[in-house]
Amino acid sequence: MTKTRSRDQGLGRARQAAGNGSGGVRRSWPLVLLSALLVALAVPAALLVAPGFLGPEPPAPAPPAPAWQQVPTALSPVPGLAPPDGSAPVPLPSAVSAQLEPLLTADGGGTFTAVVQDALTGQVLYDRGGSEGRVPASNMKLLAAVAALRVLGPEHTFATRVVAGPAPGQVVLVGGGDVLLGPGGSKKDQVMGHAGLATLAAQAVEALQTGGATGEIKVLVDDSLFSGPALNPAWEPGDVAAGEVAPVYSMALNSARYDPAVTTGPRPQDAAMTAAEEFAAGLRSAGAAAGLTVAAAVERLPQPAAGTTAPARPEGEGTSQPVVLGEVQSATVAEQVNLMLQDSDNYLAEALGRLTALADGLPGSYDGATAAVGAQLAAAGLAAEGMKLVDVCGLAMGNQVPARQFSEVVRAITSGTDTRLRSALDGFPVAGLSGTLDTRYGDAATARGAGLVRAKTGTLNTVLALSGYVVDADGRLLAFSFIGNGLTPGAAGNKEALDRAATALAACGCR
C-alpha cells in the first residue's frame, strides 16, 4: 500500500509539471477577464465617489442680470409724478362704473359717495352722489394744504425768536408759528425739530454775554400771534381727551406732543408755556458756564389793553423793534404740508390754517383759518356750492364738503396750472408703504394697488374717506375721491371697500 501511494504521488507531480505548459495558460484566462471587468466597473464608480472627497465641480458662471436688477451705482432722482401722458387712452365711464359699483358697498349702515375724473381733462368718469355735502374727516387737510401753499408759498419759513425784554434782566421767547420745535439742537435735515430750542438758547447766551448781562435772567413768553379760543368748540371732548388734538398755540414742541413718536394719549395743554419752560432749561444749562442764572418761573408777557399799542411782532410792524438775541427758522411750508398729509397731523393743520389766515389779512383764529381756506379755494376756482368748514383739520363732524371738490383739488395738485401746489405731491401716503396707508393694501384683494395708489385718508367714528390719484394700467392719470358717512363703527369691510375701489382703478384698462 505504501508503494502504491508513492507511485500515485509521483504521477500527480509529473502531471502538474506537464500542466505548466498550455493547460496552465487556459486556466489563467478567467482571472484576466475578471480583473478587466473589475477595472471597467471601478472607473465610473470612482467618478461618482470622487466629488465626495474632492468637492463639487464649480458651477458655470451665471448670465449677467438685466439692468433693472443691477445694484445701483448712484442715487436715483427724487421720485415724483411725471407729466400726465395725454396720448394714453381715457377709460370708458361705463367700464369704470362696472368696476366700482360692486365694490363701494357699505358694511352695515351708511353710504358711499364717489367721483373719479381724468386728471388731465377733468372728464368725469364715475359719479355717485359726488355733489352731496359729506363729512370728509381728515381729507380736509387737502384743502388746508392748497390754501397754505397759495398764500404762504412752498419755501416760506417761520421764525422763533428771543428778544430783549421790556425790563433789564428779561428775555422774551416770541412764537412765530413754528409748532414743530425740537428741544435740542436744530436738525436741518428734519422737519420735526428743524428748529431747536437748545440752538436758540446758545445764541441768546452768546448775545447776552456780548451785551454784558449779569445776574439772573427772567424768561417771558409771547404767544399772542394766534387769537381766539385755543380749543375749537366744534371738537368732541372725547377726541381732545384721547390726544387727537390739543389747544393750539403759536409755538409748540413736537406738534404739541411730549414725544414725537407717541401720537396718541396725553398732550401738553399749554404748548407755548411747555416750549418756553424747555427754552428756559436750555438757557440755564448754556448760561451756567457764562455765569448767568435763570429764574425758575416762566411767565407770559403782559399784553396791552385794547386800544393801546401792541407789542412788536417778529415780522416787525411798529416804530420800535426789540433787540433780537437769537432766531431759528422752521422747515419750509412745503415740508410741513407734506408731514401734515403723511401723518394726518391735526395740530399742525390747525396751526398752518391760522398762519394762512394771518398772511391773508385775517385773524389768526379758528374762524380766520376756515375763512382763509374757503377764500383761497374760491380764488383757485375750487370752491363748491354749499361747502361748510368749521375746522381745517377735519376732526369736526360739522364740516360738509362734496367728493367732487376733493377730486378737483387732487387734479389741481397733480396737473393744474398753479405749480406751487405740486409741492404737496410728496405728502400723499403711498398704499402699503408710507404714512397713514403703510399698513393697508396687504391682502390679495388690494395688493395690486400697493405702491400705486397715493391718497389722503380720513377716519372718524362713522366716517371714512380716501382721496388721491393713481395711474391706471393704460398710463392714464386719474383723480378720485370716495367718502363714506353714517358707517357702522369698526366695520372692517368699509375700509376694505375703499381700498378695493382704488385698487380697481390702478388695475383698470377700462376701454
Domain with CATH 3.40.710.10 in the chain: 93-153+335-506
Among residues 138, 330, 407, 415, which one is catalytic?
A: 138
What is the reported pLDDT for 252?
98
**Taking 70 as the threshold, does the pLDDT of residue 459 lie above it?**
yes
| Residue 170 burial (C-beta neighbours within 10 Å; 0-12, 13-18, 19+) | middle
Length of the chain: 511
What value does the mean pLDDT take over residues 66-73? 50
| Residue 386 burial (C-beta neighbours within 10 Å; 0-12, 13-18, 19+) | exposed
User: pLDDT band at 76, cuts 50/70/90?
Assistant: very low
What value does the mean pLDDT take over residues 141-165? 98
Among residues 186, 224, 255, 344, which one is catalytic?
A: 344
Mean pLDDT estimate for the chain:
86
**Taking 70 as the threshold, does the pLDDT of residue 223 lie above it?**
yes
What is the reported pLDDT for 2?
40
Top-confidence residue, 252 or 41: 252
What is the full DSSP assignment across 440-473? -S-STTTGGGTTT-EEEEEEETTEEEEEEEEE-T
Percentage of the chain surpassing pLDDT 90? 74
**Taking 60 as the threshold, does the pLDDT of residue 318 lie above it?**
no
What value does the mean pLDDT take over residues 363-370? 98
CA neighbor of 483 nearest in space, from 472, 469, 497, 471: 497
What value does the mean pLDDT take over residues 76-93? 72
**Taking 70 as the threshold, does the pLDDT of residue 66 lie above it?**
no
What is the reported pLDDT for 431?
97
* Cell representation of residue 138: 381728515
User: pLDDT band at 75, cuts 50/70/90?
Assistant: very low
How is residue 182 annotated by DSSP?
Answer: B
Rounded to whole angstroms, the Cα distance separating 110 from 497 reads 13
What is the reported pLDDT for 15?
38
**Taking 50 as the threshold, does the pLDDT of residue 11 lie above it?**
no
**Taking 50 as the threshold, does the pLDDT of residue 317 lie above it?**
no
CB of 429 within 8 A of CB of 391? Answer: no
What is the reported pLDDT for 369?
98
User: pLDDT band at 321, cuts 50/70/90?
Assistant: confident
3 is catalytic: no
What value does the mean pLDDT take over residues 138-143? 98
What value does the mean pLDDT take over residues 232-260? 96
**Taking 50 as the threshold, does the pLDDT of residue 8 lie above it?**
no
What is the reported pLDDT for 82?
61
250 is catalytic: no
What is the reported pLDDT for 149?
98
CB of 409 within 8 A of CB of 143? Answer: yes
Top-confidence residue, 261 or 342: 342
How is residue 416 annotated by DSSP?
Answer: S
CATH code of the domain occupying 93-153+335-506? 3.40.710.10
User: pLDDT band at 380, cuts 50/70/90?
Assistant: very high
What is the reported pLDDT for 209?
92
Rounded to whole angstroms, the Cα distance separating 342 from 346 reads 11
**Taking 90 as the threshold, does the pLDDT of residue 307 lie above it?**
no
Rounded to whole angstroms, the Cα distance separating 220 from 325 reads 14
- pTM value is 0.82
CA neighbor of 353 nearest in space, from 299, 389, 400, 313: 389
320 is catalytic: no
Sheet of strand 463-471, all strands in order from the earlier edge strand to the far edge: 124-128, 111-118, 477-485, 463-471, 454-460
What value does the mean pLDDT take over residues 262-288? 95
Rounded to whole angstroms, the Cα distance separating 309 from 304 reads 7
**Taking 50 as the threshold, does the pLDDT of residue 308 lie above it?**
no
**Half-sphere exposure (Cβ direction) of 54: Cα atoms closer than 13 Å:** 9
What is the reported pLDDT for 400?
98
**Taking 90 as the threshold, does the pLDDT of residue 290 lie above it?**
no
What is the reported pLDDT for 167?
93
